[in-house]
């Protein structure tokens, strides 16, 4: 059963919507009126929300994220290799970190590393002089609510423009619409999918949301992940 029947490109945006309306409706369990955040507990049936990739001006105007890292300090970033080469942030929890899940490392001390394999990038990081300048692609555009189809959803605080932060505690910042689909497609009353939303004006803050579980779409885990933890998380 497909919850997202179509994914359309709309000038750098994707959209997906729930189509199965034959089962029990989903519902909201909590809502925070002052901050306009919401938690939506989906238990199967009509989904009631359409998502698309944000066209945020903040994202469009963002340049590379640059970090000055003194190698005696803990960076706190774990990387994984992309299928086509290059490495991206899998998790980021260090005090010095200003990057979010999904951003790609593109330069080390001014030397491009785009498209290089995991081991090659790790070798460059080990050999780099300290302080080490790390350049990353701009933060991924978040997934936002483009339409609210269900009156129950509207009544409990989910609004157009809200940012999808996580599903069942897994960060959706940097995720694809397919990741969202996979996260909710098997939801039922015994195992609901809990979706957390942030207000529209908190897109920038959402970019920096940290999560122990990162989206896996388009990423290829390698046996070298432990090596980068040893190199960067000391």
**pLDDT per residue rounded down to tens, the chain (234 residues):** 444 433 333 333 333 333 333 223 334 344 444 457 899 999 998 888 999 887 644 444 557 889 999 999 888 888 988 877 889 888 777 645 578 777 899 999 999 999 999 999 999 999 999 999 999 988 777 889 988 887 767 766 888 889 998 899 887 877 778 889 999 999 999 999 999 998 875 544 444 333 333 333 333 222 233 233 333 433
Give the integer Cα–Cα distance in Å for 197 and 201.
Answer: 12
Give the integer Cα–Cα distance in Å for 25 and 102.
Answer: 32
Q: Which CATH number fits domain 15-55+141-206: 2.160.10.10, 2.120.10.90, 1.10.10.10, 2.30.42.10?
A: 2.30.42.10
The answer to whether the 15-55+141-206 and 58-136+215-232 domains have the same CATH topology is: yes
Give the integer Cα–Cα distance in Å for 145 and 200.
Answer: 9
Where do we find the tokens 């122990």?
212
Domain segments of the chain as ranges: 15-55+141-206, 58-136+215-232
CATH number of 58-136+215-232: 2.30.42.10
The bridge status of strand 132-136 relative to strand 105-108 is antiparallel
Burial 169-206 (b: 16+ CB within 10 A, else e): ebbbbbbbbebbbbbbbebeeeebbbbbbbbbebbeeb
Strands of the sheet containing 105-108, edge to edge, are: 65-69, 132-136, 105-108, 111-112
Give the integer Cα–Cα distance in Å for 219 and 206.
Answer: 21
Q: What is the pTM of this model?
A: 0.51
């Amino acid at each position: 059963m497909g919850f997202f029947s179509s994914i359309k490109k709309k000038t750098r945006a994707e959209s997906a919507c729930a189509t199965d309306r034959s089962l029990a409706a989903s519902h909201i369990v909590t809502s925070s009126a002052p901050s306009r955040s919401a938690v939506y507990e989906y238990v199967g049936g009509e989904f009631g929300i359409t998502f698309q990739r944000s066209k945020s001006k903040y994202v469009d105007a963002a340049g590379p994220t640059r970090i000055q890292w003194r190698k005696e300090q803990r960076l706190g970033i774990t990387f994984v290799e992309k299928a086509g080469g290059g490495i991206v942030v899998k998790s980021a929890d260090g005090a010095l970190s200003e990057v979010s899940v999904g951003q790609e490392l593109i330069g080390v001390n001014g030397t491009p590393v785009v498209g290089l394999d995991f081991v090659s990038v790790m070798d460059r990081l080990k050999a780099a002089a300290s302080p080490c300048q790390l350049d990353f692609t701009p933060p991924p555009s978040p997934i936002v609510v483009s339409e609210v189809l269900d009156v129950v959803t509207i009544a409990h605080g989910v609004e157009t423009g809200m940012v999808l932060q996580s599903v069942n505690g897994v960060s959706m910042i940097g995720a694809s619409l397919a990741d969202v689909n996979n996260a909710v497609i098997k939801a039922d009353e015994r195992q609901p999918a809990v979706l957390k939303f942030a207000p529209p004006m908190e897109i920038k803050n959402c970019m920096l949301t940290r999560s122990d579980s990162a989206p896996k779409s388009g990423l290829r885990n390698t046996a070298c992940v432990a090596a980068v933890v040893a190199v960067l998380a000391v």
